[in-house]
Amino acid sequence: MPVFNELSLDKQYLINEFDGDQVLLVEPIMKTESCVLILIHEDVETFQWKKLTDEIFDIIEELSEEKSEEFDALFEEEDDFEDFED
């Protein structure tokens, strides 16, 4: 079974952490000797520490740079619109 240590920093991944769990978009942003700090992209972005050896049920895919930029652009447009409303 894959583990969090297999995820590369500053890449985005679609994963199922547990069997039957919802698909999550996660981004490892920092590693220590034992843990990795994960940014979870949901309605509200959250940060969570995971042990490098914690198992992941399924790494569905690593997003290409193009898809990561496309995802980020979705929210930049929303932020720009909110700034315009103020």
Residue 24, pLDDT above cutoff 80: yes
Q: pTM for the whole thing?
A: 0.83
Range of the domain at 22: 4-85
Asked whether the predicted pLDDT for residue 1 surpasses 70, the reply is yes
Question: Between these two residues, 13 and 75, which has the higher pLDDT value?
Answer: 13
- pLDDT tens across 33-65, in order? 999 999 999 888 999 999 999 999 999 999 999
Strand 13-16: give its sheet, edge to edge. 46-51, 35-41, 24-31, 13-16, 58-62
One-letter amino acid identity for 32?
T
Apex 73 CA angle, 26 and 38, nearest 5: 15
How many domains does the chain contain in total?
1
- pLDDT per position as a tens digit, 9-22: 989 999 999 999 99
The residues, any chain, with a CB within 8 Å of residue 65's CB and separated by 6 or more, are none
Q: What is the CATH number of the domain that holds 17?
A: 2.30.30
Pair 11, 27: CB distance under 8 Å: yes
